[in-house]
Every structure is written in C-alpha cells, then in structure tokens.
Amino acid sequence: MIIAFSDSVRKKVVSSLNILEGTKRDALKRILPSSIDKIILNRIAENESKTTSMLVQEISDEAGCEKDLVVERLLKLSCRNEIKIVEKELLRSFSMYVRSPYTIRFWVYVVVTTVSFLSIFISNGLFLDIRFVFGATLLLYLPGYSIMAFLFAQRELDGLTDTALSMVLSVILAVLIGVVLNFTVLGITLFPVAVWLTSLTLGLLIASQLRKYTYYKLAKLDLGKLVK
C-alpha cells in the first residue's frame, strides 16, 4: 500500500521535521557542556597516558559532538582551575620560542613594520598608495601597539580599546620623537622619524616577546599531560 501526499502536505511535514530537528539540536547544545565536562574529568581521573589530541578525539566520539566544543570545554575547565593543560616538552630557549606558533602575531607585526619602513622609499608610480597606507600604520598604530604589547605581555591585545590606546600612544611617541629630533642636526624629516619609529617598534616587540617567554617558562614549570 502506497501513501501519497500532496505538495502542500509534504511541505508542512518537512517544515515540522525541520522544527523538531532544530529543537533537538538546541536541547542538545544546552545539555552537552555539562555532560562533556563530566566526561573530561572522568577521563582525566583515570590517569591514562594520553595526549590532548587523543582525549579530544575520544570525547568527541563518545559524546557525539564537534571537536571544537570539546576543546572549548577543556579551555573553560582550565580557566576555572579544575584542570591544568601543560605541554609535553618545554621550549627551553628563547630562539626556540620565537620559532614556535606562539609568536605568529609577533612575526606578522615585524613584517608589517619592516614593510612600512621600506615603503617610505616609494616616491611615485602605482605603489604610491601603498606608501600612504603603510606610512600611516607606522606613524599611527605600530609604535603604540608595541608599547602595549610590552606593558601587557601576559595577554593578547584585542578589541577596540586596545586599538584606540595603541593609536593614542603612537601619536604621543611620534610627537616626542619629533621634539627630540628638533634639537639635533637631523631635524624633523621623513627618514630620521621613520628610522626612530621603526627601531623603537621592533625593539619593543622583541622586548615584549622576552617578557612573554618569561611568563611562558613560569607557566610550564610542571611538565606533563592533562592533570587534575
């Protein structure tokens, strides 16, 4: 016996099923976080020698959820000091640290700063707009960012407030450099100002990474896997 539905009835059935599926997903999202937390803590309590990636994969399979959600719960448990996530091996020198994924943002800013300085030598042609963009970045943002990165080495700089403070500090630093150069034979010209801004920016970026590496070593004194 074959039951046939009209198009209107079929659409209503499909719509109802979609609503039920969405409600089911929403309920699952509300239940999963606490359930995943319990699974994580139970697995850690077993004291099995497993890497973090293996643990994430197993919990993802057991709970039937995405790996990103498991990682999110791991980080939140770590923030609440219910677990501690440490590396298997410590980066034992600063040279190893600056070549690690921890310093990707540092290298991005080093490259942008270098390109901004080199852009001052562009005097005409199609790339003149690039000079204006990178020149403004060097004058109005990068120096202040490097100061903020040095002063607040324990956290990453994000958000509108950090950006605004970076711009304000950049302007202040540029004014101070102008005052200093005004009393030298160099005067307030493009090249000396760019050299000073670039040197200070790169120096502060390197100093900020030295501070970050110090905090990194302090945080990684206890070596191991996930520990409760």
Q: Which residue has the higher pLDDT, 113 or 3?
A: 113
pLDDT digits (tens, 9 = 90+) for 7-45: 554 555 456 555 555 554 554 444 457 778 888 788 777
pLDDT of residue 209: 94
| Average pLDDT value over all residues in the chain | 78
Highest mean pLDDT among 54-63, 75-84, 127-136: 127-136
pLDDT-derived band at 77, boundaries 50, 70, 90:
confident
pLDDT-derived band at 138, boundaries 50, 70, 90:
very high
pLDDT of residue 197: 95
Question: Taking 90 as the threshold, does the pLDDT of residue 206 lie above it?
Answer: yes
The model carries a pTM of 0.60
153-180: average pLDDT:
88
pLDDT-derived band at 47, boundaries 50, 70, 90:
low
pLDDT of residue 19: 55
For residues 31 and 71, the answer to whether their CB atoms sit within 8 Å is no
pLDDT of residue 228: 45
